[in-house]
Structure 1
Amino acid sequence: MIVVTTENIPGYKVVEVKGPAFGINVRARGIGKDIVASFRSLAGGEIKEYSALLEDSRRQSLDRLIQNATQMGANAVIMLRYDSSTIGQGMSEVMAYGTAVIVEKE
């Protein structure tokens, strides 16, 4: 599956638009990570526990986007974007979305 953040894929043409595709992941922080992160925040700098959590969430959201686009019959996704938000206390949502399309080599 070709996935790009651009409107076009060099060397390919869009022959059919299947529609919007998305992948959503919601994660809760664990109490252990919260405690470690609290201590790290006192010193400043990167909080690696949260960075790893969000990186994993983005990857899983992208995987789910690809799965959704495949189920729609697409062979590519254009205009990939990510969005994130906080849901409740200690929970984060990461969504990957784009347009599922069928492309052919030019």
Structure 2
Amino acid sequence: MIIVTTDFIPGYEIKELKGFVRGSTVQSKHIGRDIMAGLKNLVGGEITDYTNMMDQARQQAIGRMIEHGESKGADAVIAVRLETSSISSSASEIMAYGTAVTLNPSPSN
């Protein structure tokens, strides 16, 4: 599965639009992470536990988007975007979405 943020993929032409696909996950804070984050706020710097948590959440959302695209028979997802929104003071949703397509090699290749 090819995943791109552009509306096209060099070397390919879009054969068929399969439609909108998406994947999401909701991540909540963890008491242990919150304690460490509070300490980090006193001295400054990156809160690596949260960075890692959000990275894993993005990967999970992208994986679910890919599964949605595969269920539609897509070869690729174009125009991919990621969004994060606050669900509550202790939880965030991460959503990946785009347009599922099938591809043909470009005639010039």
TM band (smaller chain): over 0.9
Unaligned runs of 5+ in 1: none
Deviation of 1:89 (Å): 2.4
The alpha carbon displacement at 1:60 in A equals: 0.5
TM-score by length of 2: 0.95
1:78 paired with 2:86, answer no
Aligned to 2:17: 17
Between the aligned partners of 1:42 and 1:80, the Cα distance in structure 2 is 37
Distance 1:43 1:61 in 2: 32
1:29 to partner: Cα distance: 1.0
Counterpart-to-counterpart distance in 2, 1:13 and 1:77: 13
Give a deviation string over 1:50-92, Cα, whole Å, max 9, x none: 1001000000001000000000111100001000011112101
Aligned pairs for 1:49-88 (under 5 A) are 49-88=49-88
| Partner in structure 1 of residue 95 of structure 2 | 95
SS in 1 for 2:70: helix
Tell me, which stretches of 5 or more residues in structure 2 are unaligned?
none
Aligned residue pairs, count: 106
Letter in 1 for 2:11: G
**Percent identical across equivalent pairs?**
43
Write the deviation string for residues 2-33 of structure 1: whole angstroms up to 9, x where unpaired. 00011110000001001110000101111111
* 4+ residue segments displaced more than 2 Å: none
CA RMSD of aligned residues (A): 0.7
Q: What CA distance in whole angstroms lies between the structure 2 residues aligned with 1:41 and 1:51?
A: 14
Letter of the 1:9 counterpart: I
2:44 is equivalent to residue 44 of structure 1: yes
TM-score by length of 1: 0.97
**Amino acid in the other structure paired with 1:63:** G
